[in-house]
Amino acid sequence: MSTGLLESPLRARRDGGHKLLMPYVTGGIAPGWTGYLRAFAAAGADAIELGLPFSDPTLDGATIQEASDAALARGATAHGILAEVAELRLDVPLVASTYYNLVLRDGPAEFCRALRRAGIAGLIVPDLPLDEADELADAAAATGVDLVLLASPATPRRRLDEIARRSRGFVYAVSVMGTTGERAALAEPAAALTERIKQGSDRPVLLGFGISTPEQAVEATRRADGVVIGAAIMRRILDGAAPDDVGAYLTGLRRALDQERDETRWPATPDTRRGTAP
């Protein structure tokens, strides 16, 4: 199976026993906002989701909507954000996410070419129905951009298999039937959805919507290959957190995921737990 600039590194990390961490930032959210991208990479992100702000983000909850409004009020545009990203040199793949209106404005082919010129490896368009995705999927494939598709707990089996087959980069598993946002606990349908996707595909599965604490991330990756962290990051940024502050938060998540992996692969014996000889 041929894989793209996003899927190849994610598969390699997963197959090497690592759990995947993909943080999100709204482009143009603050002066010097690209510093957050550098902080994410330094904290151990495996990919970074870059939101291109849109005036009516229907799938996003209050936090991401507030972030989009703030970025647009500063004059942020999709092309301006991509121009700033093009000047970066990050070793972590970037995944643009936005709504289909912005894609239609340029046309799918030109939009995808603009993404590639900026060094973007993947694209998420949450309001694009699977049945209407052919044109964008073809344009993305022609430019080497992995078009990531979403699946929800309510997705029927046949459609879920089709999403898993046609998605590129990874399959984005939506943990709840609702909008993005922080939640007190991981939604119960999340684990079952991950298992259903994995029954029909070997593509990496990342779980998002509502994951904000190390404990939730660890719980999610007991079934999923990785997690997407969005609203929890944007809440911190909107409250004034600097790149180093958000980087420290992500470092804690990265450490928790790595520790869980190590404990699963190398369970402690009674002697090593006590630190004493038999």
List, by residue number, the catalytic residues: 49, 60
| Measured distance CA(19)–CA(227) in Å, rounded | 8
| Measured distance CA(154)–CA(165) in Å, rounded | 18
- Structure-token pair, residue 64: 């991401």
Residue 1 exposed, middle or buried by CB count within 10 Å (0-12, 13-18, 19+): exposed
| Measured distance CA(144)–CA(113) in Å, rounded | 9
User: What are residue 174's DSSP bridge partners?
Assistant: 208
Residue closest to 137 by CA, chosen among 257, 128, 196:
128
The answer to whether the beta carbons of residues 90 and 23 sit under 8 Å apart is no
Dihedral over alpha carbons 119, 221, 177, 50 (to 10 degrees): -20
Q: Backbone phi, then psi, for 124, in 5-degree steps?
A: -120, 125
The answer to whether the beta carbons of residues 173 and 194 sit under 8 Å apart is yes
**What's the one-letter identity of residue 79?**
H
- Structure-token pair, residue 214: 């190390």
The answer to whether the beta carbons of residues 232 and 182 sit under 8 Å apart is yes
